[in-house]
Amino acid sequence: MSRDLDGWLRYIEQLHPREIDLGLDRPRRVLGALAPGRIAPVVITVAGTNGKGSCCAFLANILQAAGLRTGVYTSPHLQRYNERIAIDGAAVTDDELVRAFERVEQARDTTPLTYFEFGTLAALDLFAAADIDVAVLEVGMGGRLDAVNIVEPDAAIVTSIGIDHVDWLGSDREAIAREKAGVFRRATAAIVGDPDPPQTLLDCATQSGADLRLLGHDFVVESDNGGWQYRSGISCWDELPIPGFGGSEQLRNAACALAALEQLRPQLDLRRAHLVAGIVATQPPGRCHRLHARGFEWWLDVAHNTEAAITLARALEATPATGRTLAVCGFMRGKPVAEFASQLRTQVNAWWCVAADYHRAMLASEVAHELRGVVDAEITDAGSIEKGLVAAIDSARPGDRIVVCGSFLIVGAALDYLSRLPALESG
């Protein structure tokens, strides 16, 4: 039976009885039937609690600036599933995805696959067929048992270690670090961007025989006359442009990308001009993403855990509004909503709590309940995302800004809504 893309997405959502089933045996077996060779001459894997999507964007833009055909796999998406798989900066088409899903379906035979595993295999199939030079693969969750880890990388990055997905990865940084260190390989560059990496991460890297490269030890970032400088035992690149989004954490993410790329320079012809062009071109949507619509400044950020809330709060503080800061927020179940809001309590003057149309989404009333007693600002149970956005707009006065945060689904829905409004501008 033929299916369009929406039909396939509905199909793979219900294919496996469990939404998450961590393990490599099933996807590895299907990959062997689907694309038994290497998917690309060079593969870079990116894991981390926060920052991995931004790091992937830096890698992709630098590689493309160097003229290298690059495939990038990230998740989740904001507006369209196609965003997850891009080749040379362009999302794959519906037809390309459908054909890849058909090939995965044939290769899997009776092997059950989760939604994420099916999509990961489709991405690997598309990259194997596209004659790309480099594949950049974002780990979905953890690392050790994530489907992306069926691919052998030439360099592996862990951007940061924070508390998230505790039901699957553990409730402390040491346990979570152990899972993320599973992407490291013997005699392969292992880049760590966390300024205070847990000891378990270092121990696992040593046990794996990886070539460990630590931020602050093996490579450093320094301010440099309005730009920044990257230094290591291999390279010194100065007067690099400051990323156009976020704060100091984006320097760390960019530095992780450079640390991986310099380890691969024998295979990749990279020059400083490529780094500059790639950094300037990087502005991933939903990461301190600033827009103007309906006369107000909007900040869209997919932050959904405590560490990401701290980063967002710092960015808001560094760029104060002339008026108030209004927040529209919604979360998936299991997220630390009260801790998240407490990090933003001095920055946000009013909250509209909303719910995504998704089975794992918290109700708006549940989000509002979590916020009460944590923040002193006005809290409104707005119901749907669109109702929350409309209410925030109606309440806003000249000079106010509106922040949308809490999950990819909330930010994606906000982008959909704002794209329908007149005079939408970035920056």
What is the structure's pLDDT at 414?
A: 97
First to last CA, the chain: 45
Q: What residues contact 218, with CB distance under 8 A and at least 6 apart? A: 212, 232, 233, 259
What is the structure's pLDDT at 252?
A: 96
Rounded Cα distance, 125 and 154, in Å: 19
Q: How confident is the model at residue 282 (pLDDT cuts 50, 70, 90)?
A: very high
As a CATH number, domain 5-281 is: 3.40.1190.10
pLDDT tens digits for range 351-396? 999 999 999 999 999 999 999 989 999 999 999 999 999 999 999 9
Handedness of CA 24, 302, 134, 96 (dihedral sign): positive
Inform me whether the pLDDT recorded for 424 exceeds 60: no
What is the structure's pLDDT at 166?
A: 60
* Residue 127: Cβ-neighbour burial (10 angstroms; 0-12, 13-18, 19+): buried
The answer to whether residues 143 and 237 touch, using CB atoms and an 8 Å cutoff, is no
Q: Where are the beta strands (DSSP E) in 319-400?
A: 325-329, 350-355, 378-384
Q: How confident is the model at residue 425 (pLDDT cuts 50, 70, 90)?
A: low
Which residues share a beta bridge with 287? none
Collapse the DSSP code of 227 into the 3-class scheme (helix H, G, I; strand E, B; otherwise coil) and give the result: strand
Phi, psi of 55 (to 5 degrees): -60, -40
Inform me whether the pLDDT recorded for 21 exceeds 80: no
Residue type, 395: S
Say if strands 227-232 and 219-224 run parallel, antiparallel, or are unpaired: antiparallel
**Span 203-232, average pLDDT:** 94
Residue type, 20: I
**Span 192-220, average pLDDT:** 96
The answer to whether residues 301 and 290 touch, using CB atoms and an 8 Å cutoff, is no
What is the structure's pLDDT at 168?
A: 58
pTM exceeds cut of 0.85: yes
What is the structure's pLDDT at 163?
A: 72
CB crowding 245-254: b at 16 or more within 10 Å, else e: bbbbbbbbbb
What is the structure's pLDDT at 23?
A: 84
Inform me whether the pLDDT recorded for 267 exceeds 90: no
The answer to whether residues 100 and 127 touch, using CB atoms and an 8 Å cutoff, is no
pLDDT tens digits for range 135-177? 999 999 878 999 999 999 999 999 999 876 666 566 688 889 9
What is the structure's pLDDT at 9?
A: 97
What is the structure's pLDDT at 75?
A: 96
CA distances (Å), 268 to each of 39, 44, 159, 243, in order?
A: 17, 12, 22, 23
Fold of 289-426: Protein-Tyrosine Phosphatase; Chain A (3.90.190)
Which residues share a beta bridge with 240? 228
Inform me whether the pLDDT recorded for 125 exceeds 80: yes
What is the structure's pLDDT at 18?
A: 76
Rounded Cα distance, 8 and 100, in Å: 11
Stretch(es) of the chain classified as CATH 3.90.190.20? 289-426
Segment among 76-80, 174-178, 329-333, 338-342 with least mean pLDDT: 174-178
pLDDT tens digits for range 34-60? 988 899 999 999 999 999 999 999 999
The full 3-state SS of 260-306, as one line of letters, equals HHHHCCCCCCCCHHHHHHHHHHCCCCCCCEEEEECCEEEEEECCCCH
DSSP one-letter string for 81-115: GGGGEEETTEEPPHHHHHHHHHHHHHHHTT----H
What is the structure's pLDDT at 276?
A: 98
The answer to whether residues 218 and 202 touch, using CB atoms and an 8 Å cutoff, is no
Cis peptide before 76 (omega within 30 of 0): yes
Q: How confident is the model at residue 286 (pLDDT cuts 50, 70, 90)?
A: very high
Rounded Cα distance, 126 and 132, in Å: 10
298: left (phi over 0), alpha (psi -120 to 50) or beta: beta
